[in-house]
Amino acid sequence: MPKIYSIDEFANQCGYFYNAYLEKGISANNGYNCRHPKCEEVKNGVGCCFSWGCPLGYEADEEDFANPQIDHNGWTDYEEGKFIIPNAKEDNNA
pLDDT (tens digit, 9 = 90+) per residue, 79-90? 999 999 999 654
Mean of all residue pLDDT scores within the chain: 93
Q: Name the residue range of residue 55's domain.
A: 5-86
Residue 91 lies in a domain: no
pLDDT tens, 52-68? 999 999 999 999 999 99
Report how many domains make up the chain. Answer: 1
Q: H or E element: which one contains 65?
A: helix 62-66
Between CA 34 and CA 50 the distance in angstroms is 9
Nearest of 68, 49, 57 to residue 5 by alpha carbon:
57
pLDDT tens, 31-44? 999 999 999 999 99
pLDDT tens, 42-55? 999 999 999 999 99
Residue 93 lies in a domain: no
